[in-house]
Amino acid sequence: MSEKKDRIALTSAEISGMWASYIKNNMELRFFEYFVDIVESDRIKEILISKINRAKQSMFMIENIFKEEFIPLPNGFISEDVKADAPRVISDEFIAAFCYDFILLTIHTYTSALLDSTRKDIREYFQDNISYNISMQDDVIEYMIEKGIYPKHPNIAIEKDIILVDNKKYLGRLIGDNRPLNISEISALARIIFRAQFSKMVFVVFSKTAKSKELKEHFNDGVKEIQKVVDSLQPVLSKENINISSTGEYKIFDTDESPFSEKIMLYFINTCIGMYCFNMIGQSLTASLRNDINGKSLIIMKDMLEYYNKGIKIMVKNGWLEAPPQPIDMSI
């Protein structure tokens, strides 16, 4: 890291990126402290211990930087948000999928934060963490492949000729027959479906363990919304006999005691739904040249944003939503 004397004031983008990083690491730490106590696989336990240590290290670094800049730290999550000694609620394979999801979230968000960073120590922070998570990604993927739960994209035979689009029919119609999918469209659709499969199982676990009627209903609504995504996009692939692997029905254990607070469950859902809407659906819109797929993607985005906003309102009502740092009002 750079010497303190070489540092310049943090930019708004750097404050935003580090603030979000602190909360993400705080949330990871709480989940992983529970997972490490219940996991049976030595390989996943090793990954969890490494991730716990990395989260603590990252939070400590951000605390020091914010202290020097007189920026308040988020309240985040406390130990009571997860009961580390609660009964086992999910299997090792499901824990691995959680690890994989957190890693993807980190790589996606930290890459954007890195591109927006100016100060050398901040760039080094994001660069180092991206490299670390890529290494962890390899370890988790190898485990998931061995267990048959890795969401592998389909193998497709490719035409030998280069095609130049010379007809507006290539864009297709919203309803009716369209040209065959291209590789970019297949990849985008598979990515969304994989994400939906994992999200659905998370919603099932959270709806099962939530205590309040409001949160149970909200998470049950999430199951329905995610199923609508699969029902909308899966037939597009099935029509062309393109099969994608299933992430599987992860094992959920029967228990009446929830290891997670409703606050951290809802925050996890909102964080990942946010990434779902603004990243994967956005990628689909960019990658697809077929109007019917883009039409479906826009409907999914609209529905997911409505669900996301309901979750935000629940957080506000319960006093769980922390606003990012607010600049001094300079308006006249």
> Tens digit of pLDDT for each residue in 148-179?
889 888 888 888 877 777 777 776 665 667 78
**Token pair belonging to 305:** 């944003």
Pair of tokens at residue 331: 């308006």
For 188-226, what is each residue's pLDDT tens digit?
Answer: 999 999 988 899 999 999 999 999 999 999 999 999 999
Hunting for tokens 């999550």 — which residue is that?
77
CB atoms within 10 A of CB 249: 11
Tens of pLDDT, residue by residue over 26-48, are: 999 999 999 999 999 999 999 99
DSSP secondary structure string, 213-236? HHHHHHHHHHHHHHHHHHHHHHHH
pTM value > 0.85: yes
Task: Write down all domains in the chain, each with its CATH number in brackets.
Answer: 9-147 (1.20.1260.10), 171-317 (1.20.1260.10)
Question: Cβ(149)–Cβ(130) under 8 Å?
Answer: no
Does pLDDT of 281 surpass 50?
yes
By three-state DSSP, how is residue 332 classified?
coil
Rounded to whole angstroms, the Cα distance separating 217 from 266 reads 12
- Say how far apart CA 19 and CA 11 lie, in whole Å: 12
